[in-house]
Amino acid sequence: MSSIPPNASALSASRRQRELLQQRPIAASLALDGSHLHSIEESHQRCAALGLRRIESPDYSPLGRSDLRLVRERNQRLYVHAAPIMELLFEQIVRTQSLVLLTDAQGTILHSIGDDEFVDRASRVALQPGVNWSECAKGTNAIGTALIDESPTLVHADEHFMHANHFLTCSAAPILDPRGNILGVLDVSSDYHGYHQHTMALVKMSARMIENHWLNEDFRHAMRLHFHSRPEFIGTLMEGIVAVGRDGKILGANRSALDLLQMSGAAVRMHSVTSLFGTPVGAVVDAFRSPVAGPLRLLLPNGQPVHVQARCNWPTWHGGWQGGKDLGEAVEPVDEVAPEGLPAPERNGQASDAVVLQETALRAARGIGETLPPGAEVPGEEARSSPEGSESPVRSAGRGRAAADSGVPVANLRALQTGDPQMEAVIGKVRRVLDRDIPILILGETGSGKEVLARAIHQDSARARQPFVAVNCASIPETLIESELFGYADGAFTGARRKGAVGKIAQAHGGTLFLDEIGDMPLALQARLLRVLQERQVTPLGSSKSIEVDVTVISATHRNLREMIEAQSFREDLYYRLNGLAVKLPPLRERSDLLALARLLLQREKGGQRVPELAPTVVDLMTRYPWPGNLRQMGNVLRTAVVMAGDEPMITLDHLSDDFIEDAQRSPRTPAAASATGTRPAGAPLDPAPAGGAGEPMAAAGLSGVEPSPALGVPGEGESGTLEAMELQVIRQALEAAGGNISVASKRLGISRNTIYRKLRWRNGSAA
């Protein structure tokens, strides 16, 4: 840990604290304690020393698919232990607009579960698999700072170093192996308005559960002593556990053991059963030979009495234990058994985990009930409050997530009609096939709104009250995608999760299955998916029984599936099965409703408060920028701008990050977006695009965001009347009639595309 800076030590603690509170007013409202403030302050100093800037856009780029696969493979064991506990944790916080995240020891997100609406918001700051959240990548944040401080860490709102992350509140706890090495971090992130003081307790407990599972597996052939000063705490998360070798040496300990013993992991491993509990290991084994043995009462080195229970693979131990000598033989693993009277091995397994977490959440909810957010339900009450109280928990959770509302209404198709003719055409097409059991394939660049459209289709369909289940084929490790989709039967796996699980396809029964990034579906699974879609039956892994499924399928991709078919990486038969109707979303740079969308995004950010205006210079930059990340990227830029602007009524260049300004200034204006600058009222109809016009994307016509591009609109002041102005007006009208498509306009006018560019570039240059 770094030391307190000299100027801080000179100031009185309370004055320093006051200063900090002024700097971070949102977090100040939580009245967090001095050690918390100190840890955040130190982290900010580290970030400043690293040269990080508060207003910069963090590096959002995730690892490539194959790199992510490698990282996940390296951390497969952590995932196997953590995934079921993450699900339990999520069940306790479902509908609180939160995300449960697991990272590796470097802070790279391996796995996430969350409320759909918040997943959407979180993905805008790349709280998603493959993205690294170490402090040096994202500045002060709960994951990165917990990794450095090696302790549970809360980072709330403006305590995040980077402004882009100020909307978050995050509670993270490192996960340690029994030797004290960091395995990864467990984190819950949500919108800071939804802060709950009990979230950190749940995260810490969940991290401990993962650690205990890890320890139990690591030392499944060793004896484990479970101890606590109060016998009723044995078998709970508060119990200390030490693993003991046959020679009586301590091999490892869980975090509670270190707390109870007040020792470091390294110090504990210097001990033996004799030096730690004052009794030779042989005596302990003998004491537990009896099938009715109760806990032993032993003394810790500090004289504190504790109650101790033993667990081990008794047959192996009885055979191997000979008067304290380690036979050193390799022993065949056998199923763990406990003598009668000892806690059964499962007592520390899934069932007790669920109970512990639920009880904690219930206690927290009762104790601080008034701080529960609207809509949050006390665990266990969901089924009662649900109108279809008899449905399965999986189904309820799915519906809860789909309908979860963070103040952003789930859009229907009408809400997506913000004045762009290409969008109008797309929506018109999907409306015609609604409820006709025709699979829809949504194509479009990343961030162009494919998932939002899929949800809107579901929302407007007769299945709206049934689940909408989204599966991102790119973010699930290839090894897990099969079980995620198809589910698995009890006993199909021997890992931490032995109970069966309902797959996503079955979860979507009665509703809509959204297969996002379908182009990333491994080839081997494409055949299986095709069979499910054709037969409308799914067979979970390890089961011989098929389950009938009634789902309507919407899929989406940013890839060119036809090219993939040619390259034999996508099955043609599956393509035709998914493609009852293909619609292509326009990229933002081609949309004429950019300003209307910007306003919607600002409204979302302000959550009912007064929405700031955009200064003309900002509008100019926004309309000339090519927006490679589309709506998602525009949302990020506006979120930062809103935070920077605070209560100011107008967003100006001062509120935008420098790199965005530089990039945008280098970009010429795009024709379609230019019509959103006010030259055409947002929402006013454009001439319908000619056949093949809107269908031919600008990129395909050779107009990329970096090429010079023309502006649309009526002649500027002082332009009208001259020959040149009339020429320009004709070109603009032709372009507008062609939906911004330069190839079509040039053919109609009988002039080359270059002439159009030249004339309009000259006009832009002279107007500048």
Ligand X SMILES: Nc1ncnc2c1ncn2[C@@H]1O[C@H](COP(=O)(O)OP(=O)(O)OP(=O)(O)O)[C@@H](O)[C@H]1O
Contact footprint for ligand X (CB under 6 A)? 120, 124, 416, 444, 446-452, 516, 558, 597, 600-601, 631-632, 635
Residue 622 dihedral angles phi and psi, to the nearest 5°: -65, -35
Q: Which of 222, 264, 257, 228 lies closest to 243, judged by CA?
A: 222
Query: Smallest gap, in angstroms, from Cβ of residue 591 to ligand X?
Result: 10
CA-based nearest residue to 156, from 120, 190, 202: 190
The tokens describing 636, both together, are 């990020």
Q: Name which of 458 and 558 has its Cβ closer to ligand X.
A: 558
> Which amino acid belongs to residue 635?
G
Of the pair 347, 599, the CB lying nearest ligand X is at 599
Label the pairing between strands 468-472 and 581-584: unpaired
- Least distance CB 120 / ligand X (angstroms): 5
**Considering beta carbons, is residue 146 or 643 the nearer one to ligand X?**
643
Beta bridge partners of 547: 538
* Structure token pair of residue 13: 């603690």
Residue nearest to ligand X (CB): 449
CB of 118 to ligand X, least distance (A): 11
Shortest distance in whole angstroms from residue 130 CB to ligand X: 12
CB closer to ligand X out of 239 and 445: 445
- As measured in angstroms, the least distance from the Cβ of 489 to ligand X is 31
User: Two tokens at 233?
Assistant: 């705490």
How far is CA 599 from each of CA 164, 400, 416, 602, 623, rounded to the nearest angstrom? 19, 28, 13, 5, 14
In the bound state with ligand X, the residue whose beta carbon lies nearer, of 450 and 463, is 450
State which residue, 492 or 600, has the beta carbon closest to ligand X. Answer: 600
Tokens of 738: 């062609």
CB of 452 to ligand X, least distance (A): 4
* One-letter identity of residue 71: V
Judged by beta carbon, residue 596 or residue 728, the one nearer ligand X is 596
Which tokens in the block code for residue 289? 């030979």
SS3 (DSSP) at 227: strand
Evaluate whether 143 touches 103 at the Cβ level (below 8 Å): yes
Tokens of 267: 């110090």
Minimum CB–partner distance for residue 577 and ligand X (Å): 21
Report d(CA 41, CA 345) in Å as an integer.
Answer: 44
Smallest separation, CB 600 to ligand X (Å): 5
- Type and span of the H or E element at 457: helix 450-460
Cα 583 vs. chain centroid, distance in angstroms? 27
* Residue 594 vs 631, nearer CB to ligand X: 631
**Residue 443 C-beta: closest distance to ligand X, Å:** 10
Helices 116-124 and 630-645: angle between axes, nearest 10 degrees: 80
CA angle 641, 647, 653 (to 5 degrees): 35
Q: What is the Cα–Cα distance from 46 to 149, expressed in whole angstroms?
A: 12
> 72 or 124: whose CB is closer to ligand X?
124
